[in-house]
Amino acid sequence: MLTLRSASAVAELAPSAGARLMRWSVAGRPVLHWPESADWSAPSKIRGGNPLLFPLIARTFQDGKIGFWRDLAGRVRPAPMHGLVRAARFDVVSQKVDRITMRIAWDRSMAEAWPFPFVLTVEYALQAEALSVAFTVENTGTDSMPYSVGNHFYFAMPAADRADWFLEGAFQSWARQDAEGRIVPAPAPEDGGALSAPDLVDLFHLGPPAGGVTLRNQKNGREVVFDWQTEEGGENPWYAVTTWTESRQSDFYCVEPWSALPDAVHNGMGLRRLSPGARETLRLRLTARGW
């Protein structure tokens, strides 16, 4: 585990376990949730920090059966939940007191599930109140490569306080994934986006506004502002923000910027493509105010 520091902010990461951002605190208060007893024998099951999702996000279905996808040649392949890197070993490329860059390269053990060679580089940079993450994806193969990339931020939030927290942003529409993997329209959230509302669980908030979105506690004024660097032409590379928690008693709530929706390798919703030899970077910054 490695530690970053900037003013009163501290972040801890585990490069050998999926480049997992474990903790992020500002002024001594945790912004992200991390369990007291994390089971490192099953890092993909740990509820905390920010697991990295790549090159698939969430649940992928083939003919209504979860965990599979069909490539353009018609071959059915395994599709692990949230992709291939959540628990994989990343190499540390560089580290400073307030910044770290980690990298993983495709190898033959991934070929059955994902036949596209790649290099994924992740950089975290810490400031007094802000945390930035940048994903650089490079296609090192000879074919055009589809991919999705996502975050899975577990925010520290006592279950009893959920009614005070709201996700604020002018989203374009909302959707869910049904039991057979189809993306279906959903109504706008009730209660103005309060995280206590049951309809926010597993909800895709589509078309995040270019100006960002805010996770705000309307009682004590604390907030986390999500800001993204738009691409050429002003397009936001983050296709959706997903809200999820495990149960009504969980002392965390997840707000997850994704570049695509689940099953994007089939439905194309937000799916990105890279030509052979090409690379691109997707950036995101979180600012914690009032901590």
Residue 203: pLDDT over 70: yes
Over residues 261-278, the pLDDT tens digits come to: 999 999 999 999 999 999
Residue 78 bridge partners (DSSP): 68
Report how far apart, in Å, the C-alpha atoms of 121 and of each of 82, 92, 281, 284 are: 17, 10, 9, 14
d(CA 150, CA 284): 11
**How many domains in the chain?**
1
pTM of this structure: 0.96
d(CA 236, CA 209): 8
Confidence of residue 229 (pLDDT cuts 50, 70, 90): confident
Q: Assign residue 186 the CATH number of its domain.
A: 2.70.98.10
Mean pLDDT for the chain overall: 95
Q: What percent of the chain has pLDDT over 90?
A: 91
Confidence of residue 232 (pLDDT cuts 50, 70, 90): low
Residue 231: pLDDT over 80: no
Range of the domain at 135: 2-289
Backbone angles phi, psi at 160, to 5 degrees: -70, -15
pLDDT at 191 (0 to 100): 78
Q: Which of 95, 138, 71, 99 is nearest to 5 (CA)?
A: 99
